[in-house]
Structure 1
Amino acid sequence: MSADRLSNVSKEVKPESVSLCPLGTAAAPERELLCIFGTGDLGRTLGQRLLQSGYRVVYGSRRPHSCGPLPQGAQVLSHEAAAQSADLVFICIHRVHYDFLETLAPQLKGKVLVDVSNNLKKNLYPEANAEYLQRLIPGAHVVKAFNTLSAWALQNGPSDANRQVYVCGNRAEAKQAVAEVATKLGFAVVDRGSLTAAKELEDFPLQLFPEWRLPLRIAVGLTAFFFVYVVMRDVVYAYVDQGKDISFRIMVSMANKVFPIVSLTMLSLCYVPGVIAAFLQLYRGTKYKRFPDWLDRWMLCRKQMGLVALGFAFLHVLYTLIIPIRHYVRFKIAAGTIAQIRENRTSVLDTTLAWRTDSYFSIGILGFGLYVLLGITSLPSVSNALSWREFSFIQSKLGYLTVFFCTFHTYLYGWDKFLRPSYYKWYTPPAYLLALVVPSVLLVLKLLLLLPCVDRTLTRIRQGWERTDPEDSSKNALLT
């Protein structure tokens, strides 16, 4: 403010109009006023959060006197009056109702318009809603933001799943104003650039588990394949070869064979891309070349793949726990006991079988315990409390230990069955042998990478050394 303007202001203030305030106190600054167009669920919830965060809120409505219940403390005015009263306006209405905003172009000129709208499906319009709004009101500064948050997220506050607010716009000052509001509400702001990114932001809420699609497809494919494979070998073979109907075993016995196979295979697939990447780096002699796209996608979905595998492991544990109460098992135990009484004979304890069975269960319990630990540390609330070294130790070293225990558990289950011709029904191997292929190959490849000569070279490459490093070549030339 210039000196002349200050002097004019001082002349206008009369002595008697000056209030005497106690020493050490000052008049509280007036709270910032924000405007919201739209009185739906999102508009009401957003207004409530803004009021709780210290803002004043005015709603713009077509029917100011009959727009339903609104947060206590908010004003309701006509669209024109509300637009004139605030510099930042939240547009919480659907795109199909944007046309009336064009008539408010004079009142909205120079204002920051926050477009929070979304569409019902992708590619519904040729341009993004925010770009369409900017074209309707060229004098305003349109910012796309808050569209990835639901009314529930706004009402309950930020959490790990919806902590971020994505922002894009063509004017830096407008984005900064919106970012300050989002930060005051407790959200983390992510700037996605200009308004051309609005199309991408509007597609975010329409995506259905994008990072889970590949793991779920793999899980469904493996489950279907092994389920058909097990049913053909056990149920169909028994009916064709022996005339027995054991189809009742499909519900529990067959399922309890398929779930651990899928779980172990998917757990191994979480670590296979890391081994492939290591061998690629060794082959190329550098870490600066991009991995193939399929390997990138595979590595990005390892967390989701591991959680799906953990879910199958839980199913295996639950199905195993109900084995003693199954009618089929109780019938076999009773029939065996009655047969021994009739024949006046007793069974001798097989200590070798007892050792094998106890070892099988013990290793399985240890493997499942590590499995659960991996799943817990993958949760954001837990992983955020760990340092990178701690997280890497659990997910990598303990992860391979988990694969080893679960694989050893499966080997103990099979024991010497692979040597018996009766287990190769229709000349097909038992299902557990197929489950051992991927984890066994993974563990062998990992052991090769742990060899001192290989590990030393790989560590140098990951620290930035390249096989064709000109500096390294010049040193070698000087040495020779």
Structure 2
Amino acid sequence: MPGGDMAKPLLGCPNADSDPNLASAPSSRTIGILGSGDFARSLSMRLVSSGFKVVVGSRNPKRNASLFPSAAEVIFQADAIKKSDILFVALFREHYTTLCDLSDELSGKILVDVSNNAEINHHRESNAEYLASLFPACTVVKGFNVISAWTLQSGPRDGNKQVLICCDNQEAKRAVAEIAHALGFTPADMGSLFSAREIENIPLRLLPAWKIPVFLALGLFLCFYTYNFIRQVLHPYIWDKKNKFYKIPVEVVNTTLPCVAYVMLSLVYLPGTLAAIFQLYHCTKYRRFPDWLDQWLQHRKQIGLLSFFCAALHALYSFCLPMRQSHRYLLLNEAVKQSTLGFAALVISTLHTLTYGWTRAFDENQYKFYLPPTFTLTLLVPCAVIVAKLCFCLPCLSQRLRLIRNGWERGRNIKFTCPRTSGEFSSGETSSTV
């Protein structure tokens, strides 16, 4: 979809260190806000704390003045429009027409549309495009709709830092980007105003970065649960005429959860291993990864957190079972957020699983319906990841991979400097000698 690429370069914004006049720029600019709702109040607080002069246009200034910071001037909409060239339209789409009587005052102004819809693609055109059609003499910029009122009050550290901006006018877009930058956010250029359709859908998407990891976790859980059900419940019922259906809600689930957590923890590190193989094969870091690998790399954090969640659920389920039944499945998975500790947890879990299942792997009674024990299936991916990681520790591969990630390419003579350590290439050695 046009303008929907989140990887576009950020808008260039002046730096206060390089431009001594930037520090005084906010105080010399007056920002107008049309509307007196929660978002307008939070936005005014953030603008005032960032050094801007703020005027709030309201249909009832006396009633709403107490809701805003004392430094913000709450006046009638017509007066607010006259005092500012940049106006944030904090109104619902249905209320845009109430501004039509002020079209002459709004002529030549920059209108920042911050609205969202109640559902995805609720209208054929975006709210920003609709606002632009009502006021053709104005320049409409879409932005700040992905920032919540809570984030505006708490600051960008407690929420999303990225402000998506789109507009047909580059100067207006840059002006709004400078405001976002002054508020502590990171402006991202999303292209023309047509991209507002995509931007307005973003807040309505349910768990946009979690959909693939959640479906992956559910799929693994279903597979392992079915596998454990066949081995622990169905096999005794058919083979020995024993009714063990009581295991379904607790024990089968408790056997499944650590399997899912273990495999998902290994899936956090598998894409990094595949990326290293890809770079070694092509001898460059500038070749784009395949889309499936690129998506996998971007979802590693969510996969790791879901792995920890499954391990935590397993710990809770273990209280429902005797310790002798639950201790064997415990996973040391508390450190998924840290790459080194997370990989250590993966190694320890693998050693634990191997120690637990070494004798059972050669026991014929463990192969029910000729199906191997569950732990043997969970070992496949983790063992592959650990073996690959150990291979990359070999000097011949680790040095080559480090050079590639420092910019070396096969067939190109590029000089660069690497840290001088024992066993590494000396500073200034040409890449073509590798």
- What TM-score do the two structures reach when normalised by structure 1? 0.72
Secondary structure at the counterpart of residue 148 of structure 1 = coil
360, 372, 382: which one pairs with 2:334?
372
Q: State the distance in 1 between where 2:178 and 2:247 align.
A: 62
The farther-off stretch of 440-449 and 415-424 is: 440-449
Distance 1:130 1:248 in 2: 58
Q: Do the aligned partners of residues 452 and 76 (structure 1) sit closer, same or farther apart at CA in structure 2, a change above 3 Å counting? A: closer
The 10-residue stretch of structure 1 (255-264 or 75-84) with the greater mean CA deviation from structure 2:
75-84
Instruction: Report if aligned partners of 2:55, 2:75 keep a CA contact under 8 Å in 1.
Output: no
Letter of the 2:87 counterpart: V
- Tell me the matched-pair count: 391
Q: In the alignment, what sits opposite 1:206?
A: 204
> 1:325-355: CA deviations, max 9, x gaps?
89xx8xxxxxxxxxxxxxxxxxxxxxxxxxx
After superposition, the CA RMSD in angstroms is: 3.4
The CA distance in 2 between the partners of 1:262 and 1:131, in whole Å, is: 46
Residue among 17, 31, 37 paired with 1:40: 37
In structure 2, what is the Cα distance between the partners aligned to 1:50 and 1:460? 46
CA gap of 1:294–1:52, structure 2 versus 1, over 3 A, is closer
Residue of structure 1 in register with 2:382 after alignment: 439
- Residue among 349, 355, 377 paired with 1:406: 349
Give the equivalent residue in structure 1 for 2:370: 427
Whether the 8 Å CA contact 1:407–1:436 is kept in 2: the answer is yes
CA distance in 2, matches of 1:93, 1:460: 54
Q: CA deviation at 1:433?
A: 1.0
1:145·1:168 contact (CA, 8 Å) conserved in 2? yes
For the 8 Å contact 2:33–2:89, the answer to whether it is kept is yes
2: CA distance between counterparts of 1:125 and 1:274? 42
Larger radius of gyration: 1
Q: CA deviation at 1:50?
A: 4.1
Structure 1 match to 2:121: 123
Deviation, 1:184, is: 4.9
* Separation in structure 2 between the aligned mates of residue 291 and residue 180 of structure 1, nearest angstrom: 33
1:91 Cα deviation from its structure 2 partner: 0.8
The answer to whether the 8 Å contact 2:57/2:81 transfers is no
Structure 2 counterpart of 1:416: 359
Going from structure 1 to structure 2, the CA distance change for 1:315 and 1:32 (only over 3 Å counts) comes to same
8 Å contact from structure 2 (residues 35, 56) kept in 1: no
Provide the rounded CA distance (Å) in 1 between the counterparts of 2:282 and 2:111: 51
Instruction: Quote the Cα distance in structure 2 between the aligned partners of 1:179 and 1:292.
Output: 32
**Counterparts in 2 of 1:269 and 1:56: CA distance versus 1, 3 Å:** closer
Instruction: Give the distance between the partners of 1:171 and 1:123, measured in 2 at CA.
Output: 24
1:288 to 278, 281, 286: 286
> What SS is found at the alignment partner of 1:90?
strand
Q: 1:193 to 1:436 in 2, by over 3 A?
A: same
The aligned runs of 1:175-254 (5 Å cut-off) are 175-254=173-252
Consecutive unaligned residues of structure 1, counting only runs of 5 or more, are 1-28, 330-356, 378-394
% identity of equivalent residues? 42
- Indicate the SS of the match to 1:372: coil
Secondary structure in structure 1 of the residue aligned to 2:166: strand
Contact 1:101–1:136 (8 Å) recurs in 2: no
Distance in 2 of aligned mates of 1:67 and 1:41: 11
Distance 1:146 1:437, change over 3 A: same
**Aligned with 2:335: secondary structure?**
helix
Distance 2:96 2:282 in 1: 55
Instruction: Sort the Cα spacing of 1:286 and 1:32 in 2 relative to 1 into closer, same or farther, 3 A.
Output: closer
**What SS does structure 2 have at the residue aligned with 1:210?**
coil
Q: CA offset at residue 248 of structure 1? A: 1.9
Tell me the distance in 2 between the aligned counterparts of 1:176 and 1:448: 49
* Cα displacement (A) at 1:427: 1.0
The structure carrying a bigger helix percent of its residues is: 1
Call closer, same or farther: CA 1:46–1:314 in 2, change over 3 Å. same
Q: Displacement, 1:238?
A: 1.6
Distance 1:119 1:200 in 2: 11
Structure 2 vs 1, CA of residues 208 and 428 (structure 1 numbering), >3 Å: closer, same or farther? same
User: Shift of residue 118 of structure 1?
Assistant: 1.0
Cα offsets for 1:283-331 (capped at 9, x unmatched): 33333322211111111101110111111112223333443389xx8xx
Give secondary structure in 2 for the equivalent of 1:310: helix
Q: CA deviation at 1:85?
A: 3.6
1:458-473 to 2 correspondence within 5 Å?
Answer: 458-469=401-412
Shift of the alpha carbon at 1:186?
4.3
The 5-angstrom pairing of residues 124-139 of structure 1 reads: 124-139=122-137
Native 8 Å contact 2:250 2:320 kept in 1: no
In structure 2, the partner of 1:158 is 156
Q: Secondary structure at the match of 1:169?
A: coil
Deviations 1:135-155 (A, max 9, x none): 322222222222112222233
Of 89, 92, 104, the residue aligned with 2:90 is 92
Q: Aligned partners of 2:396, 2:73: CA distance in 1, in Å?
A: 73
Q: Is the 8 A contact 1:33 1:58 kept in 2?
A: no
Q: 2:68 aligns with which of 71, 89, 110?
A: 71
**Alpha-carbon distance change, 90 to 459 in structure 1, aligned in 2, over 3 angstroms:** closer
Equivalent position SS for 2:91: coil
Once the 2 structures are TM-superposed, how far is the Cα of residue 214 of structure 1 from its aligned partner?
A: 1.0
Offset of residue 448 of structure 1: 2.7
Shift of 1:110: 1.9
C-alpha separation in 2, matches of 1:173 and 1:198? 17
